[in-house]
Amino acid sequence: MYTKTVEESLKEVCSTEDGLKSSEAKKRLEQNGENVLPPKKQKSKIARFFSQFADIMIIILLVAAAISIAMAIIQKDMENMIDGIIILAIVILNAIIGYVQEIKAEQEMKALLSMSEPYCKVMRDGEVKKVLSKDIVVGDIVVLEAGDIVPADLRLVSSANIKCDESSLTGESLAVEKDHNFVCKENTPLGDRKNMAYKGSVVTIGRAHGVCVATGKDTELGKIATMLSEADKSLTPLQKSIKMVGKVITIIVLIIAALTFGLELLLKPNGSVIEAFLTAVAISVAAIPESLPAVITIIMSIGVGRLSKKKAIVKRLQAVETLGSTEIICSDKTGTLTQNVMTVRKVYYNGDVQETHSVEDIVFFTLLKTMTLCNDSAYSQKGYVGDPTETALVDFSDIYGLKKVQAEADNIRVAEIPFDSNRKMMTTLNEQEGKFVSYTKGGTDEILKHCTKILINGSVQELTSQDKKSIVAANKEMAKNALRVLAFAVKNVDYNNGQKLEEDDLTFVGLVGMIDPPRKEAVSAVKKCKKAHMTPIMITGDHAITALAIAKEIGICENEDEVLTGAELDELSDEEYLKIINKIKVYARVSPENKVRIVKTFKSLGKIVAMTGDGVNDAPSLKTADIGVGMGITGTDVTKEVADMIVTDDNFATIIVAVGEGRRIYSNIKKTIGFLFAANFAEIFSLLLATIIYPALRFLLPVQILFVNLITDSLPAIALGMELPEKDIMNKPPRKSNQTIFANGMGIQMLIMGIVQTACVLTAFSIGNMFNEDIATSMAFYTLNLVQLVYMLSIRTSYFAFGKDMFKNKWIWLALGVGLVILAIFAFTPVGTIIGLKVVSGMEWLIILGLTAGMFVISEICKVVLRQVYRDK
């Protein structure tokens, strides 16, 4: 409709300027439906609970549990039954933790959702009526006034000095002036369609009537919502790693099963095939780290809890870890990097840009009065409301003690000439104690055309050509720095009631330059991004010059070669864009489709991409990114709905805190997996080799293996997940998206330490076998437990990474203490007999402790060597 005149638009929707009849509106509502966006299909609680089981590790555990229970039924062996039941309990506990965390995040998110104005005013039956916004239909004439939220897409049919804040839709930080007489060309960008008012935007000043041309999903807002439904979330880096771990475990289990089955048949030729198969299955089940999924879920849940206290709500557990992998942070400018509040930055008077001001200076005081009185903003309990430019002016005056309410009471407005796009000026006439003064503001060029004098250094003088050059130069310098510049002038008037107000023979007072400034914390946040080897990218719907100025100020880019507009991006093919993407740091005047393309292109290069934003226009790219970060205060409902994480204080720096937490979580999960895999390797190798070397002896009972997996292994694994962050964690580059858990020597370390632990356990078993089989089994059991408890200390990062903080993780020492106490109870009390243990003598304990100490020394040497080898990788 933006390409049609008012008359053509009304004809298109079969309406008139008097609106529809109520009967016709009811008929259209029944035919076309309510003016609402299609609701997002929600999973049922049951479906959400069972979705927690859609993980390869969980599936492996379910299969293991099923095999254990089946074996128990076949063999009539309660130990296998208990094993299967415990594995099932762990799986269910893991699902409950994940489910509760999702529900909790959803409830917190719902509590944040802002309430939109549900009513609006329309012309029906020739009169103004108040109706629910959802009941608007195409053809309705909607009445707009300052402060109204536009309820649908409207083609304006009449307007008076109206401006709309479309920042949530387009990213444009300034309110956009509207004109019903304007007719746009085909393919005019959304932000430049002056004859349209779009659903979700806010009227900041003026009034208008508009005919509804689109409702619900057919609005520009609705089209964005449709794009959201088409965007799918890819697996997070951690999910990919865990999926790979699951595949590795599956392969290992199958290999072990085949080896064990073959060895049983080879070493026990008189044994039955069924018995060999059951033994192979039993050892295979022992190879699975049952506690791993639950431990990972607990680690992430604790991290989410920590972030919640730091004003970041995580809706998906895996999302917080993804932040730690982020290489590219694409951030919206307006409201995210900037304050979304226009602020006076530069003031020119007395022939120069002044750094300090005093109300004792008559020129500055006159400038403040002009800024305050030639102004239509109004004071409310939440501060000044109105056009952002005008509220910036009165906020500035407030700082110097000139309050708008008091100024207007002392200087009564008696006449005015409203701002219009042709004159580009606004004038008010105010009366104080019988004297009349006109106050004018507008574009610098227009104001200078109407000025003949200048107020300078306290006196009124003729405006010379040199004065004009100085003013024009100051105006250009401000504009070059992306400031929006307004000029101000005054005039003493002999006024009679009804007399026409003239805008001539004015006295120039000064210039004011304004901008939506960066958030105070944005500069340091960008520095931290770069220090952490992440690339911050600004993406905005604002003009290139404004975006460049802000980006320079906060350190995102240095020159205009790093800026690309949406129009320029549209002209590039995918191949051409790939060649320059790493050079571009700022994208200006972009559409929602442009934002999605930017994110997808970075992802195609294997980058992990985070996208922050608060407006509706940010929502599709938030969903497309690996992690979408929404703003809790200024964020729209649509943005909060699709975001993976919501920053409740709208603070960009909070995102950096979350990145650090994500890196900490991944580091701890990596240590946990390293610990559990080394422990399970030790069990597997010990069982296999003991079967080969001592085929006639019992090595470890199934209940003893279960004890190690669920008690000895689980406590250290959880403790490792509580590790404090390494002191240099935010100085390292993020890991690559294709980097696995086993990278940088972790896989080699797990294998070596599994072999070393196996050697310790088999040595203990061999020495114990010199006494008897029961002592051998007990010594092997105690050694296996002790080497794993001590290995927990070794797998931690060194003192050089933690400093003194490495001694502050009380959970590590608590896990060690509890583990030793439990082991002592089983070793020195009759409790041990429950799982088939015997009392071990002092000499035998010395052998066990010696083997454990040797393992610790070898582990430390291995760690140092591997760190040296992989230091530069």
Question: Distance (Å, rounded) from C-alpha 650 to C-alpha 486?
Answer: 30
Q: 61 near 92, Cβ under 8 Å? A: no
Vertex 247: Cα angle to 245 and 250 (nearest 5) = 110
- Angle at which helix 237-267 crosses helix 317-325, to 10 degrees, equals 100
Residue found by looking up tokens 């052998």 in the block? 847
Phi-psi category of residue 34: left, alpha or beta, with phi > 0 → left and psi -120 to 50 → alpha: beta
- To the nearest 5 percent, what fractions of the chain are helix, strand and coil? 55, 15, 30
Q: What are the CB-based long-range contacts (under 8 Å, 24+) for 84-91?
A: 86/290, 86/706, 86/710, 87/61, 87/290, 88/62, 90/61, 90/290, 90/291, 90/293, 90/294, 90/710, 91/53, 91/58, 91/61, 91/62, 91/65, 91/293, 91/294
What are the residue ranges of helices labelled H in 694-729?
Answer: 702-707, 714-720
Q: Phi, psi at residue 728, to the nearest 5°?
A: -110, 20
* Of 148, 332, 395, 618, catalytic: 332
Nearest to 310 by CA among 320, 322, 296: 320
Question: Distance (Å, rounded) from C-alpha 250 to C-alpha 245?
Answer: 9
What token pair was written down for 158? 């009449």
Query: Is residue 410 among the annotated active site residues?
Result: no
Q: How many CB atoms lie within 10 A of CB 103?
A: 13
CA atoms 147, 152, 153, 157: torsion sign: negative
Q: How many CB atoms lie within 10 A of CB 355?
A: 7
Count of positions (residues) in the chain: 873
Question: Distance (Å, rounded) from C-alpha 213 to C-alpha 576?
Answer: 38
- Who contacts 859 (Cβ-Cβ below 8 Å, separation ≥6)? 753, 756, 791, 794, 795
Question: How many CA atoms within 13 Å lie on the side-chain side of 859?
Answer: 29
C-alpha separations of 5 from 18, 159, 196, 632, 821 in Å: 17, 14, 11, 40, 85
Question: Distance (Å, rounded) from C-alpha 646 to C-alpha 613?
Answer: 10
What CA dihedral angle connects 545, 548, 549 and 554, to 10 degrees?
160
Chain centroid to CA 860: how far?
38
- Who contacts 409 (Cβ-Cβ below 8 Å, separation ≥6)? none
The residues carrying an active-site annotation are: 332
